[in-house]
Amino acid sequence: MQSKTGQPVSSSSKQPAPAPKGLAKVEADPEKEDDFYKLISLPVPEDIILEVGGMATLPDGSLAICTRRGEVWIVSNPYISGTERPTYKRFASGLHEPLGLAYKDGDIYVTQRSELTRLRDTDGDGRADSYDKIFSWPLSGNYHEYSYGPTFLPNGNMLVTLNVGWSNSLGHGVSLVPWRGWTLEITPDGKMMPFAAGMRSPAGYGMNAAGDFFYTENQGDWVGSGRISRVEKGDFLGNAESLRWTGLPGSPLKLKKDEVPNTGEPLYDVAKRVPALKAPAVWLPHGILGISTSGFMSDNTNGKFGPFANQVFVGDQGQSILSRVDFEKVKGEYQGVVFPFREGFSSGVLRMAWGHDASMFVGMTSRGWSSTGKELYSLQRVVWTGRTPFEMKTIHAMPDGFEIEFTAPVDPELAANPESYKVTGFNYKYHATYGSPVINRGGCPIRGIVVSKDGLKARLVIDSLRLGYIHEITTPGVRSATGRALLHNVGYYTLNNIPDGEKLAIAAAAPKHDHSDMAMASTSSAPPVSTKSTSPKGKPVTKAGAAKTAVSSAAKRVTEMPASWGEPDYTITIGTKPGLKFAPEQFQVKAGSKVRVVFNNEDDMLHNFVVVTPGTAVQVGELAMKLGLEGQEKNYIPQSDKVLHHTNLLQPNTNETIYFIAPDKPGDYTYECSVPGHFYVMQGKMKVVK
């Protein structure tokens, strides 16, 4: 068998933002993620399609991996020690897309689409010869009915989490058979007890250091952005489709779907009126820290993986990244902060497991769920180099703001300067619509800063904090005492409760006249004004003037056919396919011709259609990513002359028609979806010929 050879993979980490005017400059050669955490690819035999669905470390240090193809493999010597290479042995096969795996007392447990199964090797030959059903649940046949787990509880029972289905005709999730959208508790002898409801796509699951169960959620209907929630029996986590089954025997909930407000208020506010509804512990900003939240794993290495012991690492399948999360309990409820951690994985991150050497194994897959990592599947190790990055180690809520703790002492003068920081509060809509733009965005003035004597902490006294809101805390001007820039200078804290305690005696400073804060305080969830009724300068135009504007280079989104056209020369219908694909992926028009494009978003996620100049698709996509919190409200369309024509960002099962004049210059013009994580792979080609 030939094998793919694996070498350390470096990542071009995002560069630190320049320091505020008058502060220290960023060093000429900034540090990178790869300086601290190396990515090492494990070779995988070419005849093994290792689309990782679940992964666990066995007592002897080998890995048990289940794949979406229905197999379980045992990977020996995954550490690539000495001259030995990893070896792969098939332990089981014939399973139905297992997306979770756990090991306990000599047995391997997998969660198939419709069943929790125990695999047992009774004769010691290294292969499962006993496939025992623990418990099964019904399937409707809907493709979106994924199942995950198990997670073992201290009492020996197991938790599994079940996706809702998806209806293209309705454009939202559906729970077509009992317990879809639920967490189920299952005993070793096969008794099932409904545990909690309200999941949409609970792909990540696990315990934190305190032994509490959490799951990760993906953006969609009732889910404005990715989020992490603690799950306790009787909780409703937000997706109302699952409430169809609360009348069945054993349900710990009585809540009905029509009792859930669909108002677009923040989820935290709705939860005040719906007692069963639980607000997330941590939100992950969409398009910034991922688009498809996946694996959840607590750092139990006691500092052998770096300075983040007991924190949690969370994967993202779409953007091929890991984020770092630190929870804290305030007034009995979890909240906390999420930071960027590591990018550059070779496929879509789905599962993680700790090796016996305290390295992290990362299992990946991208088939049907395309990712920024180009490989169809991959298995990599994250290895700490022993160097400690200069990072915000954590952020704690305080009675009057936040306290940032660093991994190394800071320059006290820079850290005490309010210009070194910026704090912005924002939220998402809680509604049945797919996803949400950022809403209610507003600046939080910094009244004062106190730096600890050892330089490891900076306490920020902040005004305008809001409960239930995510607070973006950026630190572009902070440097270490030795002049190092932060490896990542942003964190996102979800503030569910403000702790009691003494406030610092800092007088309120006169607020500065901040035009950016004034602009972002508005809720801009409405789409941009169409060019069909507005000139490039925003002045009303006549119908004839609108036609002239429609064919000008400034009119990039024209949704009404210009009156002067008569009929288009070409009508092109573009659809979407699973796996971040356009259909068709290529079409041809003549230079200078009149083109009508009908874009149908038939997928189960948000997409747009953007025509760009040749060779600039990734550049335009990266500009869209830089829109940050404004991205979705701006339809992920950056201000750039490289953007030629575009639709708005479309909900699933919706469409939009645009009109434009094809470029005069022949060539291959790319069309793409510019949503973060999509643009790397979701591309097509408009061939312009003479």
Decide which of 347 and 21 is more confident: 347
Backbone dihedral angles phi then psi of residue 515, each to the nearest 5 degrees: -65, -35
Beta carbons within 8 Å of 534's beta carbon, 6+ residues apart: 540, 541
Calpha distance 554→637 (Å, rounded): 14
Decide which of 535 and 489 is more confident: 489
Q: What is the mean pLDDT of residues 496-517?
A: 71
Longest CA pairwise span in the chain (Å): 83
pLDDT number for residue 554: 53
Of 451, 506, 442, nearest in space to 470 by CA: 442
Q: What is the mean pLDDT of residues 469-474?
A: 98
Cis omega (within 30 of 0) on the bond before 511? no
pLDDT number for residue 578: 84
Instruction: Quote the pTM value.
Output: 0.88
- Assess whether the region 33-384 and the region 392-508 belong to the same CATH fold: no
Contact status, residue 101 vs residue 107, Cβ threshold 8 Å: no
Query: What is the token pair recorded at 424?
Result: 């912005």
Q: Is the pLDDT of residue 6 over 70?
A: no
Q: Is the pLDDT of residue 511 over 50?
A: no
Cα within 13 Å of Cα(89), Cβ side: 10
Cα within 13 Å of Cα(111), Cβ side: 28
Amino acid at 147: S
What confidence category does residue 505 fall into, taking pLDDT thresholds of 50, 70 and 90?
confident
Q: Outline where 136-197 has alpha helix (H).
A: none
Listed range (192-201, 392-401, 541-550, 641-650) with the worst mean pLDDT:
541-550
CATH number given to 33-384: 2.120.10.30
What is the rounded average pLDDT for all residues in the chain? 90
Calpha distance 163→671 (Å, rounded): 32
431 φ/ψ sector (left φ>0, alpha ψ -120 to 50, else beta)? beta
Q: What is the DSSP letter of 277?
A: B
Q: Where are the domains of the chain?
A: 33-384, 392-508, 570-688
pLDDT number for residue 507: 62
Q: What is the DSSP letter of 103?
A: E
CATH number given to 570-688: 2.60.40.420
pLDDT number for residue 80: 84
Condensed to tens digits (0 to 9), the pLDDT of residues 123-180 reads: 999 999 999 999 999 999 999 999 999 999 999 999 999 999 999 888 899 999 999 9
Calpha distance 481→493 (Å, rounded): 25
- Does domain 392-508 fall into CATH 2.60.40.1220? yes
Distances (CA, A) of 396 to 121, 382, 402, 421, 476: 47, 27, 6, 16, 19
Residues in the chain: 690
Condensed to tens digits (0 to 9), the pLDDT of residues 11-61 reads: 344 444 455 544 544 455 789 999 999 999 999 999 999 999 999 999 999
- CB neighbour class for 657 (10 Å; exposed up to 12, middle 13-18, buried from 19): middle
Listed range (12-26, 330-344, 504-518, 580-594) with the worst mean pLDDT:
12-26
Reduce the DSSP state of residue 418 to 3 states and report it: helix
pLDDT number for residue 195: 98
SS in 3 state form for 299-319? CCCCCCCCCCCCCEEEEECCC
Please compute Rg for the chain using Cα positions: 26
Q: Is the pLDDT of residue 514 over 60?
A: no
Amino acid at 258: D
Cis omega (within 30 of 0) on the bond before 194? no
CB atoms within 10 A of CB 526: 8
Calpha distance 221→390 (Å, rounded): 38
Q: Is the pLDDT of residue 429 over 80?
A: yes
Of 518, 398, 523, nearest in space to 465 by CA: 398
CA dihedral for 19, 21, 27, 29, sign (positive or negative): positive
